[in-house]
Amino acid sequence: MVAAVQPSVEQFADEASKWLSAHAQPRGDEAATHKSGGESFSVAVFHALGTEQEQHLLDELVSWNQLKAEVGYHAITWPSEYGGLGLSKEHARAYARLELAFSVPVRHETFSVTTGLVAPTVERFGTEEQKQRFVTTFLRADQLCCQLFSEPGAGSDLAGVGCRAVPDGDEWVLQGQKIWSSGAQYSQWGLLLARTDPDVPKHRGITAFLVPVRAPGVEIRPIKQMSGGASFNEVFFDGARVPDSLRLGAVGDGWNVALTTLGFERESSGSGGGSRRPGGSFQELLVSARALGRTGDPIVRDRLAQVYIRTRVQEMIGLRAEAGRQMGAPPGPEGSIGKLVWTDNLEFVSEVASLVVGPALLADTGQWATYEWTEHVLGAPGYRIAGGSDEIQRNIVGERVLGLPGEPRVDRNQAWKDVAR
């Protein structure tokens, strides 16, 4: 069979640019548009919205994704069997950069988890039937899937999960609790880690499942956040049943599944591959500084330049990780470096926003592009915890990249049920 000739990045970008112009409005000069009553200014890291508004935002994003799916722009690097274009990361990056110049629906955590973390995990671990059923569906975001990993007693120590899955015929019965499950209330599915064998050491007795979260025996309770919204949830399982056909990977291989999903998470949070990220960035800081007439201040100029440089460094780190993936390497510990740099930059943007905006950050003066930054400042610390905290990323870098001695692990060879907790 003769392989189809791939368009060059330039040819592809040219086509994509035409398509975007035909389907989306260009982003204007925000300050000018604002003066004419048009453009809103949002640098929120997490949405501080009511359920209906957040659902609406998500629906808009899903519709946009499905429009892109008609021409494969939602899955540029994926093969055609999953509705993708089978092109390189470079093509995907070129598209993401082009899209930045257009006014398209804002990013949403549940969407990113479904398309960027769960879809590739199912592709890697799923049976043929599961791949056919879920990969295209999740890439298109026809249905959404949240991540049901953390528990009140198992966050950083994720391998300690205690939510039980007990076999019963060709089904499993679930009993236990998950927490911090982003977007569970907007999802149809959850990627669940459950304890299937308490008699072996913790990493070995976990199994992964794709669980319908709107089924009997599953209760989702939203948690109110300090930034105003309620996008996290507690999820309780009380006798919910899941067929064995929804088990993802082998029984007892859930830790491998989890590491793969977390690897994708670290890599995507660290990549900065051109697409819009949560929170404010150099562009929005510049918009605020201009609106406030502060771009002549030498200290503000210096800090803006530092944000710009850090952003570029972050992009380079992402490119290096991508190059490794192109050579066939699975997402590895290098993703931790990308994640650390990203969260550090988010915090630095908070610092610079405080400098640029000053007291108007704390009291809403009504001046455009000022008080909005509170949603960045209050939300940014969340990503220092989500997907593995900064301290855990440093442990990973120390042990698996730098080869430093490992942490003492007293429960290494103990059955999970015998570990003191």
Residues at the contact surface with ligand FAD, assessed by CB under 6 A:
146-150, 155-156, 180-182, 382, 385-386, 388-389, 391-392, 395, 407
- Nearest approach, Cβ of 88 to ligand FAD (angstroms)? 30
Nearer Cβ to ligand FAD (205/388) = 388
**List 30, 54, 265, 334, catalytic entry:** 265
What is the distance between the alpha carbons of residues 410 and 110, in angstroms, rounded to a whole number? Answer: 36
- Nearest approach, Cβ of 416 to ligand FAD (angstroms)? 17
What is the distance between the alpha carbons of residues 1 and 11, in angstroms, rounded to a whole number? Answer: 24
Q: Which structure tokens are listed for 349? A: 């943007």
Q: Which amino acid is at 375?
A: E
Please give the residue whose beta carbon sits closest to ligand FAD in the complex.
155
Q: Which structure tokens are listed for 37? A: 């009553």
SS3 187: coil
Active-site residue, 151 included: no
Nearer Cβ to ligand FAD (126/379) = 379
Nearer Cβ to ligand FAD (84/280) = 280
Residue whose token pair is 């470096």: 337
- Nearest approach, Cβ of 295 to ligand FAD (angstroms)? 32
- Nearest approach, Cβ of 288 to ligand FAD (angstroms)? 24
What is the distance between the alpha carbons of residues 377 and 410, in angstroms, rounded to a whole number? Answer: 38
Nearer Cβ to ligand FAD (30/109) = 109
| Residues 145 and 191 sit within 8 Å (Cβ to Cβ) | yes
Nearer Cβ to ligand FAD (162/388) = 388
- Residues in the chain, how many? 421
What is the distance between the alpha carbons of residues 292 and 31, in angstroms, rounded to a whole number? Answer: 11
What is the distance between the alpha carbons of residues 14 and 8, in angstroms, rounded to a whole number? Answer: 10
Residue whose token pair is 């507690």: 234
Distances in Å between the Cα of 198 and the Cα atoms of 71, 128, 192, 203, 409 are 47, 29, 17, 10, 18
Q: Which of 131, 83, 89, 93 is nearest to 16 (CA)?
A: 93
Nearer Cβ to ligand FAD (125/149) = 149
- Nearest approach, Cβ of 190 to ligand FAD (angstroms)? 9
H or E, element range at 267: helix 254-271
| Residues 399 and 166 sit within 8 Å (Cβ to Cβ) | no
- Nearest approach, Cβ of 165 to ligand FAD (angstroms)? 16
Catalytic center residues: 265
